[in-house]
Structure 1
Amino acid sequence: MSNKVVGLVVAAALTVLCGCGAGEPSAPVTFATVQPATVTKLLVFVVENHSLDQMRADMPYTAALGTEFAVATSYRAVTHPSLPNYLAMTGGSTFGVTDDAPPSSHTTDQPSVFGQALSLHKTAKVYAEGMPATCATKDSGAYAVKHNPWVYYLSERSACAQYDVPASELSADAAGGRLPEAGMVVPDLCNDAHDCDLAVADRWLRTEIEAVMSGPDWRAGRLAVVVTADEDDRQQDNLVLTAVAHPSVHGAVVTTPLTHYSLARLYSEVLGAAPLGEAATAPSMAGAFGLQLGGR
């Protein structure tokens, strides 16, 4: 059967289904081919220093996000304190870092997932709340440089200066469908629950994530959102609540043992690239959560 004939048959069937026969005025009806949504963008939100049980108890919105979409119940940070965990998420390694010192003490020439994205002619952006200027390498007010990993990748400093931006840019990027293919959102020291209650962080996340989910990247199924914590408070063996949201996932509970190296792997898999460092042998979050990727 030719394409023209198929088109006539489908048109006739739709006329019957919508009840709009010849001579009957009706509003225009647009039909689109339904295809599985593929993830081509990843946006990660990171909170601070709380365990799985604490986050479940005191972050109702975040917990509900995991219930509605997907939650990992065996996801662990890789170490203490904060900084090496952020490096693990974004570079597949702690690079031997064991403290929270600023970039003046620690840098690496190895690539990050953000630099990996740019090397593939894709987009990357870190949104850091309270940061006074792009790619700021020193603490300022409630902005903590130890929570902004891109500034530690010395060979990518010029890209960082362009794409590591204040979080005030997030809402416009979300509304305009300009969210990056490799993205991270870093709240300030209050809204990440480092200095304020988990309830404060939960309300902040709700505002930001609802804005993201109102945008075209989410509505088209291009975007997956992850919420995790950098580490726990040393009370639950570094077990942290990690929620994964995508329109194709509903009510999944993932028991696969995962770590921040798995998150670094997910970034690279979304980009269609080889995972960095320890991420190459980490369990796949894409596989565990059943995400269909479109990065290649």
Structure 2
Amino acid sequence: MKFSVLYLLLLPVAVVPTFVPPSLGPTEQKVHGKSFDRFIQIWLENTDFETANATAEFQKLASQGILLDQYFALTHPSEPNYVAGVAGDFWGMANDGFFAIPSNISTIVDLLDTKDISWASYQENAPADGFTGFSFASVNYLSPGAPPRTFYVRKHNPLIIYDSVATVPSRAARIRNFNDFAADVNASAIPQWLFVTPNLVNDGHDTDMTFTSAWLEFWLEPLLTDRRFNDEHTLILLTFDENETKGTNNRIWAALLGGAIPKHLHGTTDSTFYTHYSALSTVQANWGLGSLGRFDTDKILANVYAPVADAVGFKNTDVPPSAVPLLNQSGTTPGPLNPNPALFAPFPPPDTSAVGAGGGPVFVPSGN
């Protein structure tokens, strides 16, 4: 399958600003990890665990890896989950507004850069690398002749919300679209850490699990057999940003896929308590990184994915179902981005006494 040709056909000509031609991303020497050499996370939208788990495509994918049946989002609505997943806090955020988090607030990018671990984020239907707009409408390929439809939204693009990425040209250039993804796959230039966001129909936000299942069958399944994307040193997290039923705790479907999962673990279930912070702690443990000094070091919220914990000798915290914290609240957490003035609190500095799963020092950016 020629991804560059395929995606240039599938992605329609956009309204102003227009799509730019795909370009190859920077390539770096591979930095070996203790359990994997590439980590890919793919986030879908707003679905209860039970709904996804009853869907044939998700059952099929889980049979090729490890189902994580005690995986939880952190809050509602979508955007605070995304920003927390790359930086270890959602700063009291309680809506999906336009946020630009100050440049002295660190992210996973800062930790990766300390060891020259290559990274990128691929955002379907974004018009160009480093696009900072709130949304982007393209020709509506679902309903030909209809007005342009919004397929891309900033709130699902977590790294661009941080000015430490968005305002640094060399970093912003790594926030790429799916045309660039196709070019990178064809050039065997996929980096070592990836955050992938499908567009608003493919991720299920504006559609349903039937639509998303068809997209996963078309897009992800061929990539799982393509060594340019997935080899024996690749770990893939497929999950959701939050659940749909806000009155229940925020359990979401998640599975670990990829060649780094041993065959004897295919089709198994891991009932360890994990949250979106676990993606941070797992990456830190794998590459012996420092931490951000936030919830990425929390002994309950940031358990390391079990295959990686076993490989590095990290001991997770046992959290029985009766002790799982309530993670479906919105607007109740104090912070600099909470819209309630009574719950405002300034950005806290990193906790330099914290010890993360990677064992390295807490990263303290300039200005803190």
Whether the TM-score (by the shorter chain) exceeds 0.5 is yes
The 8 Å contact of residues 113 and 182 in structure 1, kept in 2 or not, is answered as no
Matched, 1:147 2:156: yes
Does the CA contact (< 8 Å) of 1:72 and 1:242 recur in 2?
yes
CA drift at 1:62: 2.5
Residue pair 1:80, 1:98 contacting (<8 A) in 2 also:
yes
Tell me if structure 1 keeps the 8 A contact 2:53–2:59: yes
Q: How many residues align?
A: 258
Q: Which residue of structure 2 lines up, in the alignment, with residue 80 of structure 1?
A: 76
Gaps of 5+ in 2: 1-33, 138-150, 313-357, 361-368
| Superposed displacement of residue 156, structure 1 | 2.1
Is the counterpart of residue 273 in structure 1 residue 289 in structure 2? yes
* Equivalences for residues 240-251 of structure 1 within 5 A: 240-247=252-259, 248=262, 249-251=265-267
Q: Aligned equivalents of 1:210 and 1:95: distance in 2?
A: 36
Alpha-carbon distance between aligned partners in 2 of 1:241 and 1:75, rounded to the nearest angstrom: 7
> Which has the larger helix fraction?
1
Work out which of the residue numbers 197, 221, 224 in structure 1 matches 2:235: 224
> What RMSD over aligned residues (CA atoms) do the two structures have, in Å?
2.5
Displacement of 1:290 in angstroms is: 5.9
TM-score, normalised relative to structure 1: 0.79
Which shows bigger deviation, 234-243 or 121-130? Answer: 234-243
CA contact (8 A) 1:81 1:231 kept: yes
Distance (whole Å) between structure 2 residues aligned to residue 115 and residue 205 of structure 1: 31
The residue correspondences of 1:1-296 to structure 2 (distance < 5 A) are 38-58=35-55, 60-104=56-100, 106-107=101-102, 109-138=104-133, 139-141=135-137, 142-157=151-166, 158=168, 159-216=170-227, 220-233=231-244, 234=246, 236-247=248-259, 248=262, 249-276=265-292, 277-281=294-298, 282-287=301-306, 292=311
| Cα distance, 1:291–1:164 mapped onto 2, change above 3 Å | farther
Report if the CA contact (8 A) 2:185-2:228 is conserved: yes
Secondary structure at the counterpart of residue 143 of structure 1 = strand
Deviation sequence 1:233-290 (CA, Å, 0-9, x none): 1254211000101332422211111111112212333333123320112343333666
CA contact (8 A) 1:175 1:214 kept: no
Larger radius of gyration: 1
User: Which moves more between the two structures, 230-239 or 186-195?
Assistant: 230-239
Relative to 1, partners in 2 of residues 1:54 and 1:271: Cα closer, same or farther, differing over 3 Å? same
1:122-170 CA-partner distances (Å, limit 9, x unpaired): 1110000010111222211210100000111112222442100002222
Residue of structure 1 in register with 2:325 after alignment: none
Listed one character per residue, the Cα deviations across residues 202-238 of structure 1 (whole Å, up to 9, x for unaligned) are 2222333224323325554121111110001125421
Letter in 2 for 1:241: W
Aligned amino acid, residue 250 of structure 1: H
Counterpart AA for 1:284 = N
Unaligned runs of 5+ in 1: 1-36
Give, as a single letter, the amino acid of the residue that structure 1 aligns with 2:172: A
Alpha-carbon distance change, 116 to 207 in structure 1, aligned in 2, over 3 angstroms:
farther
Query: Normalised by the size of structure 2, how large is the TM-score?
Result: 0.64
Percentage identity across aligned positions? 23
